[in-house]
């Protein structure tokens, strides 16, 4: 297991501006019809009561919590759990689905949250959003030039409301390596991934950011796809075998042969560059978290 540290500014840029592995839509030219589609909230446990409905912008994510800032500046910290329902209209990104994963809750995204009061805290029972807002927030996240050109006005509006996105402290980075042209996890890689998840579990409000890389072998398109495939394989293993919750995972991304750890002129250097980096991040500046 190779553990290195990276500057928080570098990792924040990755988390906000890197291309997502499966949610990319930069080539789309038309927005799907904007619509709010509500989900049916799950039956609350006996010890919970109905909480307030909160409308605002997601201004921070940390672990299983998100911070929503209302138009008047009021901030609410809300817990997301396995029963939280997240919905938008069908046809999003061409996937013909109406239920979204917690990874879709991007910073800067306008949401309406129905809550349950549990003790002194709030738990999200239902989160609704609009397709056009999610598309724009994802464009900002992906940092695609085409996306910004297509959604100039909406992008500017959302970016203006993203000033409160917090920096992340990078607690550690675990690198797992791959054979040339492959996305198969070795036994050592599997052990290292679960060890990283265990370490993150012991940190309050930790999130994981997974970034895939390749060496210089192969063309640009092949390496991009391979880096995304490696990142996706790691995310699946972390969630399925190591028990890491999806809502504590930032959107994975592939960076092809960018940011090499060593020279691609040597066999040894290439071996180090064929990797997926699992970064443990802890957001700072979240009031009440």
Cβ 80 vs Cβ 101: under 8 Å: no
- pTM of the entire predicted model: 0.50
What is the structure's pLDDT at 138? 59
Token pair for 272: 């180090």
DSSP E strands in 147-274: the ranges are 168-177, 206-212, 253-254
Per-residue pLDDT of the chain (289 residues; tens, 9 = 90+): 554 444 444 444 444 444 333 333 333 333 444 334 333 344 455 478 999 999 888 888 777 888 888 888 888 999 998 888 888 754 333 333 345 666 678 777 788 899 999 888 899 999 888 766 665 555 555 544 343 344 444 434 434 333 333 467 788 999 999 999 999 999 999 999 999 999 999 887 788 989 999 999 999 999 999 999 999 999 999 999 999 988 888 878 889 998 899 999 999 999 999 999 999 988 765 433 4
What is the structure's pLDDT at 28? 35
What is the structure's pLDDT at 35? 37
Cα 150 from Cα 18, distance rounded (Å): 18
What is the structure's pLDDT at 133? 63
* Helix (H), strand (E) at residue 122: strand 121-128
Tens digit of each residue's pLDDT (9 = 90 or more) over 28-84: 333 444 334 333 344 455 478 999 999 888 888 777 888 888 888 888 999 998 888
What is the structure's pLDDT at 253? 85
What is the structure's pLDDT at 149? 44
Whole-number Cα distances in Å, 118 to 44, 69, 133: 10, 20, 29
What is the structure's pLDDT at 231? 93
Can you tell me whether residue 97 is helix, strand or coil?
coil
What is the structure's pLDDT at 128? 85
Cβ 285 vs Cβ 73: under 8 Å: no
């Amino acid at each position: 297991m190779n553990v290195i540290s990276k500057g928080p500014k570098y990792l924040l840029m990755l988390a906000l501006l890197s291309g997502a592995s499966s949610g990319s839509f930069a080539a789309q030219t038309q927005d799907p019809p904007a619509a709010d589609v509500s989900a049916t909230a799950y039956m609350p446990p006996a010890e919970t009561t109905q909480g307030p409905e909160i409308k605002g912008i997601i201004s921070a994510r940390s672990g299983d919590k998100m911070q929503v800032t209302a138009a008047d500046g009021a901030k609410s910290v809300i817990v997301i759990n396995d029963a939280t329902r997240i919905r938008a209209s069908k046809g999003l990104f061409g996937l013909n689905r109406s239920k979204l994963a917690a990874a879709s809750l991007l910073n800067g995204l306008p949401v309406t949250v129905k809550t349950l009061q549990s003790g002194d805290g709030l738990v999200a029972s239902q989160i609704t959003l609009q397709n056009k807002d999610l598309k724009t927030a994802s464009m900002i996240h992906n940092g695609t030039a085409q996306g910004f050109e297509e959604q100039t006005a909406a992008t500017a509006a959302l970016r203006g409301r993203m000033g409160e996105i917090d920096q992340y402290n990078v607690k550690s980075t675990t690198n797992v390596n791959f054979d040339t042209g492959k996305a198969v996890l070795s036994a050592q890689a599997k052990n290292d991934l679960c060890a990283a998840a265990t370490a993150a579990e012991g940190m309050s409000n930790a999130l994981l950011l997974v970034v895939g890389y390749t060496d210089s072998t192969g063309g640009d398109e092949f390496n991009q796809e391979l880096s995304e495939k490696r990142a996706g394989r790691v995310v699946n293993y972390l969630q399925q075998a190591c028990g890491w919750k999806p809502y504590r995972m930032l959107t994975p991304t592939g960076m092809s042969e960018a940011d090499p750890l060593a020279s691609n002129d040597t066999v040894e250097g290439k071996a180090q560059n064929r990797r997926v980096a699992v970064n443990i991040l802890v957001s700072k500046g979240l009031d009440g978290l």
